[in-house]
Amino acid sequence: EKKRTLNFGAGPAKLPQSVLLQAQKELLDYSGIGISVLEMSHRSSDFNKIINKTESLLRELLNIPDNYKVLFLQGGGSGQFSAVPLNLIGLKEDRCADYIVTGTWSAKAAKEAEKYGKVRVVHPKMDSYTKIPEPSSWTLNPSASYVYYCCNETVHGVEYHFTPETNGAVLVSDMSSNFLSRPVDVSKVRRGLLRSLRDGAAYSSLNLCAGVVQFGLIFAGAQKNVGCAGVTVVIVREDLIGHALKECPIVLDYKVQVEMNSLYNTPPCFSIYIMSLVLEWIKNNGGSAAMETLNKQKSSIIYDIINASNGFYVCPVDSACRSRMNVPFRVGKKEGDEALEKKFLEGASKRGMISLKGHRSVLLKYNPSDV
């Protein structure tokens, strides 16, 4: 392996070297056809094979059930902040949605959704984005079209190590920064309901009952864990498709994109190809369970140092929800000692480590009026 700079960037982030080498090898001539994926028609059979392979690898790695559709869209995670309400807020007449706001990204998503319906933050105000509000304090609205949360808040380093219980309401998860970093049970069926299913209850009617299916929709930009920027994966349950508001831009309409196999317009072909290589790498390296082990190990190395540093390094995040993807910390004291932090970053840079400078907003107060 060529020695490369140690890139701690949250995303775009480091890619496996074997992926970069394969992309390099295939850049002028993909699979003997004499052209690059960069030049290939998205309607060609070669590209069709690439997009279909990417989908089947994803289905395999996450064990995605058949009643979920997989889309490869443009517009990034931010595009989904709009696409989610545009497609789902009309699921119920009241056009309202519940949001759990644990950091910058869920706050932005909630703000965007306000354009299309009534948005309610379901928990009491928090002073800072350093923890997940106690689930027993959430007041979920039974007539909400969906419940939204961000599974890993990239800037604040707050990660859910559990799946929120929504009493049957459609659950939407932004997994942009922890996608495929661990296994996910896409359609988690509760034990009790499995029993009722065995006892002969009709699945279709149960589907609408409390607690049957956990995830309605999962989305994730590729540039953090599964590739490069340009493509966003959307995994959406079939019965939620086809309810878009009339003002929904056609490229964000899940129904249109499902019908066109994500090819309504020219997709980000190269980004999808890179994703297929990363997914193959994940598969060859033990799949999502192995990724979880690796991520636990990697993040523990840093948290252990922070915990043993006698306050020299400080991580403000509650230990129950510390992210395995992004570890925010200050050097010197809680608010950070700027001179020491500068020294730390210079020392890191001399050792070939980049993108360690955190986001200034990590310790900013949570301002509910931002939502």
Residue 112 is a binding residue for ligand PMP (CB under 6 A): no
Residues from 134 through 153 that contact ligand PMP (CB under 6 A): 150
Give the tokens for residue 292: 């979880």
User: Among 50, 73, 77, 172, which residue sits at the site for ligand PMP (rule: CB under 6 A)?
Assistant: 77
Please provide residue 84's backbone torsions phi and psi, each rounded to the nearest 5 degrees: -60, -55
In sequence order, what DSSP letters do the residues of 260-298 get, joined into one string? Answer: TTT-SS---HHHHHHHHHHHHHHHHTTHHHHHHHHHHHH
User: Among 78, 141, 261, 288, which residue sits at the site for ligand PMP (rule: CB under 6 A)?
Assistant: 78
Q: Where are the alpha helices (DSSP H) in the chain?
A: 17-25, 45-62, 76-88, 104-113, 191-198, 203-206, 254-259, 269-284, 287-307, 338-350
User: Taking a C-beta distance cutoff of 8 angstroms, is the pair 146, 120 a contact?
Assistant: no
Residue 227 is a binding residue for ligand PMP (CB under 6 A): no
DSSP letter for 322, please. B
Helix 287-307 crosses helix 45-62 at what angle (to 10 degrees)?
A: 60
Please provide residue 217's backbone torsions phi and psi, each rounded to the nearest 5 degrees: -155, 140
Q: Given the complex with ligand PMP, which of 312 and 366 has the nearer CB atom?
A: 366
Residues from 11 through 30 that contact ligand PMP (CB under 6 A): 11
Minimum Å gap between C-beta 300 and ligand PMP is 22
- Kindly calculate the radius of gyration of the chain based on its CA atoms and give it in whole angstroms: 21
User: Among 154, 173, 181, 276, which residue sits at the site for ligand PMP (rule: CB under 6 A)?
Assistant: 154
Residue 105 is a binding residue for ligand PMP (CB under 6 A): yes
Strands 152-153, 171-174: parallel, antiparallel or unpaired by DSSP? unpaired
Q: What is the phi-psi region of residue 332: left when phi exceeds 0, alpha when psi lies from -120 to 50, beta otherwise?
A: left
Minimum Å gap between C-beta 126 and ligand PMP is 18
Which distant-in-sequence residues (6+ apart) come within 8 Å of 115 by Cβ?
A: 82, 85
- The 302-341 contact track toward ligand PMP, x by CB under 6 A, reads ----------------------------------------
Catalytically active residues, by annotation: 105, 174, 224
- Contacts with ligand PMP by CB under 6 A: the residue count is 11
User: Among 54, 82, 87, 177, which residue sits at the site for ligand PMP (rule: CB under 6 A)?
Assistant: 177
Q: Given the complex with ligand PMP, which of 47 and 160 has the nearer CB atom?
A: 160
Q: Given the complex with ligand PMP, which of 30 and 116 has the nearer CB atom?
A: 116
Residue 211 is a binding residue for ligand PMP (CB under 6 A): no
Binding site for ligand PMP (CB under 6 A): 11, 76-78, 105, 150, 154, 174, 176-177, 221
